[in-house]
Structures are given as C-alpha cells and as structure tokens.
Amino acid sequence: MTPAVSQVLADLAGRVARNAAPNIPAADRAGELGLSALLLGLAAEMWDGAAEILAQENADLRALLAAGAKVWGEDTRRRWLDALSQGRDESLRLSALQSANGELKVALIALHAELERRDDPEARALESQIWRALVAASDRRRLSGSPV
C-alpha cells in the first residue's frame, strides 16, 4: 500500500522536529536529512498527479461497473452497479476523489468475485477487462524512479 502524501508529510514533520535537537549525532542527522529529502521528492511527484490519477481511475471503475451491471444476474446488485456507474466526481478535492474511489473499489471487488464464480464468455471477457484496468491503475501510480 502506498502511503498518502499527507501521511508522508506528517512523518517528515516528526523527523524534522526530532532532528532539530542539538544532541543528535551528525551522522544520524545526515541520514535523516537524506531520507527526508528523498521522501519530499516522492511526495511532490505523487501530489502533483494525485487528482488526475484518481479521476481517471474513477472513470475507469465506473465503466467497468456499467459493463458489470449488464451481465450481473441478480437485480438488486445490478441496480447498485448501475447507480454507481452513473455517478461522477463532483469535486477534485483529493479526499472526495479518494472516498469515491473506495466506494467504487468495493463494488468492483463484489463484481470481480461474481465473475470468478461464473464460466461464461461474458464473465471471462469482463474479468480480463478488470485485470487490464488494475494493471493500468498500477502503472499510473508508478513513481518516476521505479525500477519496474
């Protein structure tokens, strides 16, 4: 799990406060400063693209749920997926995008579990789409210095 930028910044605030003490050995302080610089760079990179990443992922998830609503057999779940797929991101605030993303992922997990129980061509095709979307979401979150 990737920590949220806010968590990284809170950790860095603690590191800065601890390293301001005069009794910290120079080698320890240098190591902490190097780690802090690295984390600040990574946080800056993630912060810059976070809204775009979440908005794109939410759109992708809604498209998958719309497709899932067409193949789901049970009526209540089909209506649930359809309602979620019709939603839209009302705000570009990260907290709002993350909240919507969490709700959409819960529905995707339910859909994926249903598809794995089935053995028909529609289910297999949609399951493949889900896996491609998950790989694309992972690729979007890859940091520039990532070796993979």
The total number of structural domains that make up the chain: 1
The answer to whether residue 69 sits within a structural domain is yes
At residue 145, does pLDDT exceed 80?
Answer: no
Within a domain: 25: yes
Handedness of CA 48, 54, 57, 58 (dihedral sign): negative
97 assigned to some structural domain? yes
Examine residue 148 and state whether it is found in any structural domain, yes or no. Answer: no
Per the structure, the complete domain to which residue 105 belongs is given by 5-140
* pLDDT value of position 2: 67
pLDDT tens digit sequence for 38-89:
888 888 888 888 999 999 999 999 999 999 999 988 899 999 999 999 999 9
Residue 88 lies in a domain: yes
Give me 56's structure tokens.
């794109």
State mean pLDDT over 6-17: 86
pTM (predicted TM-score): 0.81
Average pLDDT, whole number, for the chain? 91
Coil vs helix vs strand at 101: helix
Q: What is the pLDDT of residues 116-136, one digit of tens each?
A: 999 999 999 999 999 999 999
Please give the Cα distance from 5 to 97 (Å, whole number): 14
Whether 119 is in a domain gets the answer yes
Q: What is the mean pLDDT of the segment spanning 19-44?
A: 87
Assign 106 a pLDDT band (cuts: 50, 70, 90). very high
Q: Is residue 37 domain-resident?
A: yes
